[in-house]
């Protein structure tokens, strides 16, 4: 189930440190079903909120969203990345580019009822901005609109000027047909206790391993094939997820590599990557998470468990992976008072380099992790305004 609200920190992609934090509410998506919401919809909401907060000629426009420093595809469903966790540590960061507002034009829109309305836009604005203004005036959801001009249907990501829409032009609107479906009820699932590091065993690779036991760099999900006609029947198979994020509750596409039957996920293995998890166990209903872990070496790091032991019931579990070459996590510094950082070290609130080792430009939390001072200040301000406890984004310790 999609969380009722979650914060998204944002920064200019050409600067270091946060510019602010935006609260995204479930109600911002109107009646859209949770399973239909994708990352692109979040970008749209963020752009609307940033535009409404801007009064000058400069606009901040979101270009991408990252989860723990990993870029999210615009087409991926949001419920795969928001696993209903509690806590107040920053997970999402949006990067923006600054653009200049163009001259304002007035365009007319003929609605489905034949009513004509006017909206003020910039020719350089994307079509989806115009749809948002129609939504604000008429209440018609943006995703249900279809705008037509000069016989062409306007695509959301193109600008108005791309279609030669000028001052006093008239657009016509029609409904798009969308299929509706009910949201899925999330039930706990049994999976490896990834919070128990003692279960991890480094396995050597073997040239004699069966084909259903081939792994890839990144994340590999294991389960038992139940197809009696498959060569891997009753065997523990490996579905190579590589560097995809894996949401245990929402992802339902773990398959046997031989017969392609769906398989219930039981455990996982990692190879040549950095990884972390966050989730909620059914037994105590408490959010747990890890720092970035390094699965290094020419070995397969497997949580050695099966249906008979080493597993727990998860209400929520999200595993994030990224290549070791790209993995940049914050240092756990020995000094709790003055953190010593290099310009290339990464702040794991905004996911940009510190850029300066000058005293006062960064701050160490009580747990010893270090961030840009401005990032810490922005995040602290958001937590206080929303009456949530401030916690470290790496270890979740509270201040």
- Are 356 and 347 in contact, with CB atoms under 8 Å apart? no
Q: Which residue has the higher pLDDT, 334 or 87?
A: 87
Which residue from 24, 198, 2, 189 is spatially nearest to 81, judged by alpha carbons?
2
- The percent of residues in the chain predicted with pLDDT above 90, rounded, is 28
Residue 194, pLDDT score: 94
Q: What is residue 255's predicted lDDT score, i.e. its pLDDT?
A: 95
Could you tell me which residue, 179 or 162, shows the higher pLDDT? 162
CATH code that applies to domain 105-175? 3.10.20.90
Q: How far, CA to CA in Å, does 139 sit from each of 30, 31, 111?
A: 10, 11, 12
* DSSP helix/strand/coil, 222: strand
Strands (E), 193-295: 200-203, 218-224, 236-242, 246-247, 265-271, 273-281, 287-289, 293-295
Lowest-pLDDT choice from 37-46, 207-216, 366-375, 386-395? 386-395
Fold identical between 5-100 and 105-175? yes
**pLDDT, mean of residues 34-49:** 84
% residues pLDDT > 70 (the chain): 80
3-state secondary structure of 55: coil
Sequence spans of domains, the chain: 5-100, 105-175, 189-326
pLDDT tens digits for range 103-155: 789 999 988 777 889 998 888 777 877 887 888 787 777 777 889 888 788 88
* Tokens 């240092």, residue located: 331
pTM tops 0.85, yes or no: no
Give the alpha-carbon dihedral of 81, 82, 85, 87, to 10 degrees.
Answer: 100
- Spell out the residues 6+ positions from residue 89 whose beta carbon is closer than 8 angstroms to its own: 289, 391, 392, 393, 396
Instruction: Give me 133's structure tokens.
Output: 């203004």
pLDDT at 84: 57
CATH T-level assignment (fold) for domain 5-100: Ubiquitin-like (UB roll) (3.10.20)
Residue whose C-alpha is closest to residue 90's, from 394, 317, 399, 315: 394
Question: What is the average pLDDT value for the chain, to the nearest integer?
Answer: 80
């Amino acid at each position: 189930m999609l969380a009722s609200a979650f914060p998204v920190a944002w920064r200019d992609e050409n600067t270091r440190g946060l510019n602010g934090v935006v609260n995204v509410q479930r109600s911002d998506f109107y009646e859209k079903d949770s399973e239909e919401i994708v990352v692109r919809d979040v970008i749209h909401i963020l752009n609307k909120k940033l535009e409404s907060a801007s009064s000058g000629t400069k606009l901040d426009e979101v270009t991408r969203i990252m989860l723990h420093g990993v870029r999210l595809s615009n087409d991926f469903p949001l419920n795969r990345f928001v696993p209903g966790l509690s806590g107040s540590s920053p997970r999402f960061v949006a990067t923006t580019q600054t653009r200049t507002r163009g001259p304002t034009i007035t365009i007319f829109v003929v609605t489905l009822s034949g009513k004509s309305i006017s909206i003020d836009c910039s020719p350089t604005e994307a079509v989806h901005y115009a749809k948002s203004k129609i939504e604000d005036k008429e209440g018609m959801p943006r995703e249900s609109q279809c705008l037509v001009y000069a016989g062409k249907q306007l695509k959301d990501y193109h600008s108005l000027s791309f279609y030669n829409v000028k001052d006093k032009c008239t657009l016509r609107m029609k409904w798009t047909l969308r299929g509706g479906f009910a949201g899925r009820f999330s039930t706990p699932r049994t999976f490896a206790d990834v919070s128990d590091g003692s279960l991890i065993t480094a396995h050597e690779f073997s040239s004699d391993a069966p084909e259903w036991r081939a792994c890839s760099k990144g994340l590999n999900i294991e389960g038992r094939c139940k197809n009696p006609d498959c060569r891997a029947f009753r065997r523990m198979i490996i579905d190579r997820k590589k560097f995809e994020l894996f949401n245990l509750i929402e992802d339902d596409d773990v398959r046997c590599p031989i017969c392609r039957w769906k398989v219930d996920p039981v455990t996982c293995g990692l190879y040549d990557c950095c990884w972390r998890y966050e989730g909620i166990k059914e037994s105590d209903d408490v959010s747990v998470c890890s720092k970035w872990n390094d699965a290094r070496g020419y070995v397969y790091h497997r949580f050695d468990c099966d249906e008979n032991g080493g597993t727990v019931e998860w209400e929520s579990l999200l595993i994030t992976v990224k290549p070791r070459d790209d993995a940049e996590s914050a240092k756990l510094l020995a000094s709790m008072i003055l953190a010593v950082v290099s310009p290339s070290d990464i702040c794991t609130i905004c996911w940009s380099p510190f850029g300066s080792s000058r005293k006062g430009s960064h701050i160490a939390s009580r747990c010893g992790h270090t961030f840009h001072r401005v990032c810490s200040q922005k995040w602290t301000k958001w937590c206080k305004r929303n009456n949530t406890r401030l916690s470290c984004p790496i270890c979740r310790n509270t201040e």
